[in-house]
């Protein structure tokens, strides 16, 4: 072409697009930042252009979540420190050629600050004026017509779940509009940073169209989406679509029915095992329905591990160990011997004939299958709701009924095993319960024996009051309970151990993942205990002078101090979790239930609906209606 234009083949075509900082979650739970400029939007869908081998792409495909953070024009100094870095531990050859290096903590390198997201795991970036939480919906490999380059680049479609903007960017008088005169994005044009002009270059005819008219492209008449109607202030009108929704009465009735059915199933199981009902055990199950699952799993682990240990250590015959294994199995799952029944004349007699017992057993089996159907249906509806509308559609009632359903289903299956006299559900041997750290008393404890918690009424436990087994019973009750579907103790441990790893990685510039880090810690502890036991040399006896003893002594002291500090650092999170429950188990579990009750009445339908995300909490499943009608 002649005149004003000529032919050019640029290596890149960055004609000018906004810079976006994509935050994702690494496998070890840490956050990664991926600076990109291949990003654009249609409606509430965003298209990301990424290299298929980048850490951001790996994380996004694995977790399905990300946050798109848009920096302003004055934030280039945050981006340059991480511009030529990659979160991939092994830098790809192409990036090595361009001078890239691996960076584990890009937040520390850039000076940016993490801020927890509402709906996704990856954090938002506090300094960015615009932050969009997003979910992966689709992807496509680019250059499919070029076999040797196919899949090197990938186009990813994400759905915007929730948008956060700095308040000074809002257009006055509108709830959901951005003032373009106040928003100054950072633009990349051919690898250089630019900003927008301070004012409009011309008036736009498209600017006369009401932006709400474009919402037809984002709002579905079939699928409710939580993030596309978030508002800045409480809306006075009902923003939920018309239709049948869950009411306060229905939610309360659902919870009461689930609690009643689960407790009845537990009491029936206790009765089948000839356990007393006038104990604290039904109350423990009511407070934490998953306690049966936790203690049974612990009991099975103790039985199998002790069996393997006895086989390896004890010289007794295999048949003896097998008998011990079977006896412990019956102790965990079997039933106690029935006390003799006295007739009105004072003589001992059988309670029922064999024919009468058969009818009673048949009736119990039918009743157990009926309750088991309700529990399975509740679990199915919980996961159906989560799959259809996500975690944000689940209320405290939904999480609570799932707990009750899982616990109720467990005791129902164990009850069926007793009624059908399955192997391992035979007669429990008469054993004196002596609280000791030995397999047999531990199995009786995991059975949920009524003798394990004699001092349940004491709020505080110490060496001179209460009992150790009572404190342990409340401890397992606390550890097996959940809050909004999540375990508070284990979440607390996860966060603390993740923080320990992050601090070590930052201080010592470690380039390893969190599992590898804790594997190294385990190797260190193992070496500390094993090496001294294996060493048979003369030790300090071979050192004859003070100048040789002092360095060796200093090395030993340094190793011991290092071990002590590492041990305390690793054990303290567990101690912080265990101490409140051991000191006051009832106080801990009741505090958790108090928070749960407050959260229950802080959600719709018990509170007004503020945005369309809250509408998901009220969505009524037609399948649930049908299954509940069968119940």
Classify strands 65-70 and 45-51 as parallel, antiparallel or unpaired.
Answer: unpaired
Task: State residue 276 phi and psi, 5-degree precision.
Answer: -70, 145
Domain boundaries, the chain: 17-217, 250-452+605-630
**How many whole angstroms separate alpha carbon 415 and alpha carbon 333?**
9
Nearest to 572 by CA among 486, 493, 454: 493
What is the model's pLDDT at position 107?
Answer: 94
Alpha-carbon separation of residue 162 from 17, 109, 124, 135, 613 (angstroms): 22, 27, 11, 10, 9
Question: What pLDDT sits at residue 297?
Answer: 95
**Which tokens belong to 441?**
């008393």
Rounded CA-CA distance 44/407 in Å is: 41
- For the chain, the distance separating the N- and C-terminal CA atoms, rounded to the nearest angstrom, is 79
Amino acid 224: pLDDT: 54
In the chain (631 residues long), the average pLDDT of successive 10-residue segments reads: 81 89 94 94 92 92 95 93 90 86 93 92 95 94 86 93 92 86 92 84 70 64 52 40 74 91 93 89 94 95 92 84 91 81 52 64 84 92 86 89 95 92 84 82 90 75 65 88 87 87 84 86 84 62 61 78 86 86 84 90 82 74 70 57
- Give all strands of the β-sheet with 20-25 in edge-to-edge order: 31-36, 20-25, 65-70, 130-141, 153-165, 45-51, 39-42
Give the tokens for residue 303.
Answer: 């039985």
**Rounded distance, CA 229 to CA 163, Å?**
10
Rounded distance between C-alpha atoms, residue 222 and residue 241, angstroms: 11
Name the 3-class secondary structure at 429: coil
The pLDDT, as a whole number, for residue 356 is 62
What φ, ψ does residue 69 adopt, rounded to 5°? -105, 125
Domain 17-217: CATH superfamily is: Electron Transport, Fmn-binding Protein; Chain A (2.30.110.10)
Rounded to 10 degrees, what is the CA torsion of 216, 217, 222, 225?
A: -100
What is the pLDDT, as a whole number, of residue 464?
55
Nearest to 130 by CA among 42, 67, 80: 67
Q: Tally the residues of the chain.
A: 631
The reported pLDDT for the residue numbered 548 is 62
pTM (2 d.p.):
0.60
CB 396 within 8 A of CB 389: no
């Amino acid at each position: 072409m002649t005149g004003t234009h000529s032919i050019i083949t640029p290596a890149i075509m960055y004609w000018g697009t906004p810079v976006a900082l994509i935050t994702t979650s690494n496998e070890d739970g840490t956050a990664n930042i991926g600076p990109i400029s291949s990003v654009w939007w249609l409606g509430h869908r965003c298209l990301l252009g990424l290299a298929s081998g980048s850490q951001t792409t790996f994380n996004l495909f694995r977790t399905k979540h990300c946050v798109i953070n848009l920096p302003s024009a004055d934030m280039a100094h945050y981006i340059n420190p991480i511009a030529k870095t990659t979160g991939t531990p092994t830098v790809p050859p192409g990036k090595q050629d361009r001078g890239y290096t691996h960076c584990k903590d890009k937040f520390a390198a850039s000076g940016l600050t993490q801020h927890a997201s509402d709906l996704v795991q990856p954090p938002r970036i506090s300094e960015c004026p615009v932050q969009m939480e997003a979910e992966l919906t689709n992807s496509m490999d680019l250059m499919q017509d070029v076999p040797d380059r196919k899949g090197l680049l990938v186009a990813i479609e994400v759905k915007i779940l929730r948008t956060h903007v700095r308040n000074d960017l809002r257009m006055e008088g509108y709830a959901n509009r951005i003032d373009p005169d106040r928003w100054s994005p950072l633009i990349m044009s051919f690898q250089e940073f630019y900003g927008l002009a301070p004012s409009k270059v011309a008036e736009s005819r498209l600017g006369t169209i009401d932006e709400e008219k474009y919402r037809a492209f984002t709002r579905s008449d079939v699928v409710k989406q939580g993030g596309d109607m978030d508002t800045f202030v409480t809306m006075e009108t009902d923003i939920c679509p018309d239709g049948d929704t869950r009411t306060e009465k229905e939610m309360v009735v659902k919870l009461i029915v689930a609690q009643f059915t689960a407790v009845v199933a537990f009491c029936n199981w206790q009765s089948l095992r000839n356990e007393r009902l006038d104990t604290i055990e039904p109350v423990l199950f009511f407070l934490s329905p998953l306690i049966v699952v936790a203690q049974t799993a612990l009991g099975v682990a103790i039985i199998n591990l002790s069996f393997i240990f006895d086989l390896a250590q004890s010289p007794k015959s295999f048949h003896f160990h097998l008998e011990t294994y079977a006896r412990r199995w019956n102790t965990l799952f079997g039933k106690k011997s029935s006390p003799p029944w006295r007739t009105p004349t004072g003589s001992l007699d059988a309670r029922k004939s064999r024919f009468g017992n058969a009818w009673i057993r048949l009736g119990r089996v039918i009743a157990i299958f009926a309750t088991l159907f309700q529990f399975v249906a509740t679990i199915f509806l919980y996961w159906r709701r989560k799959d259809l509308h996500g975690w944000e559609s689940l209320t405290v009632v939904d999480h609570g009924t799932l707990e009750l359903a899982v616990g109720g289903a467990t005791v129902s299956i164990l009850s069926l095993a007793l009624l059908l006299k399955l192997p391992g559900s035979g007669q429990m041997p008469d054993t004196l319960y002596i609280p000791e750290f030995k397999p047999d008393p531990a199995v009786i404890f995991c059975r949920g024996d009524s003798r394990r918690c004699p001092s349940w009424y004491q709020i505080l436990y110490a060496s001179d009051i209460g009992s150790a087994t009572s404190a342990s019973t409340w401890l397992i009750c606390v550890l097996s309970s959940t809050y909004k579907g999540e375990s508070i103790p284990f979440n607390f441990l996860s966060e603390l151990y993740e923080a320990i790893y992050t601090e070590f990685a930052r201080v010592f510039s470690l380039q390893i993942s969190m599992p590898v880090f804790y594997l190294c810690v385990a190797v260190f502890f193992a070496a500390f205990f094993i090496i001294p036991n294996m060493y048979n040399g003369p030790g300090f006896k071979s050192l004859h002078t003070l100048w040789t003893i002092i360095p060796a002594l200093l090395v030993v002291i340094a190793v011991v101090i290092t071990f002590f500090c590492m041990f305390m650092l690793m054990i303290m999170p567990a101690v912080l979790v265990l101490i409140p429950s051991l000191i006051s188990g009832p106080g801990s579990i009741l505090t958790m239930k108090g928070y749960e009750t407050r959260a229950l009445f802080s959600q719709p339908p018990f509170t007004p609906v503020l945005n369309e995300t809250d509408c998901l909490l009220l969505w009524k499943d037609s399948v649930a209606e049908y299954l509940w009608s069968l119940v």
